[in-house]
Amino acid sequence: SFPTGTVHLSPKHQNGARLKVLRSSASHPMDPIQFIFSLAVLIMSVVAHEVSHGYVANALGDPTAKYAGRLTLNPLRHLDVMGSLIVPAMTFLFGGVVFGWAKPVPYNPYNLRGGKWGPALVAVAGPATNILLALVFGLLVRLSSSLPFLAALPPSFITIASLVVLVNILLAVFNCVPVPPLDGSKVLFALLPYRYSFIQEFLERNWFAIVLVFVFFLWQLISPLVFILFSLITGIGFGL
């Protein structure tokens, strides 16, 4: 299953505010306000992810995303009804954390400089952007109790910043899985010697079944990495 976790303010306070991150359970009803904020964070994060793909592709010589009007942070140009609305609502309702995607930014790999590494560089840009967002907002959370000008930030901002970190780590880790159509597959294909091209053919032919198996049976083995990275970046531990 997808990792579950929701950022809550603890009733106890230390240095202005102390955060506690709790794993969600069925006993935590869906909070509409919390879902709206979570969805807004997800949309911001997936849009940044996709736009970064387009900018790197454009920098490597392919203007497809530019001509398609996708080099913009306007979410309306990127939203996918299923991935940006329906799936996030379902994962929040049943798992306690939003997860989804935006419409993939188009690019033509034959226009890219760098040979087989061109698509890999375009792919890496997405998770790298998510990690950068997680680091920036995580630093604000980590320093909020020690720097006077950050200590003045309201607890609600720290909660939202923590959610930004969690969602972006989740997106980065999931997209690094080397299975099409995820970004990690482009890096894997660039690393594979030609004699192992049958691996790429197998993955591209059976990607849907492999993704389903990964999500329902293997993700739970990798999901602890999301919470470990969250704790390392923010200094906030996950509790049961």
User: Catalytic residues, which ones?
Assistant: 50
Cβ neighbours of 158 (radius 10 Å): 25
Q: Is the dihedral of CA 73, 156, 26, 225 positive or negative?
A: positive
Distance of alpha carbon 86 from alpha carbon 94, whole angstroms? 12
Residue keyed to tokens 């306000």: 33
Task: Give the β-pairing of 238-239 and 6-9.
Answer: unpaired
For residue 19, what is the enclosing H or E element?
strand 19-22
* Biggest alpha carbon–alpha carbon distance for the chain: 59
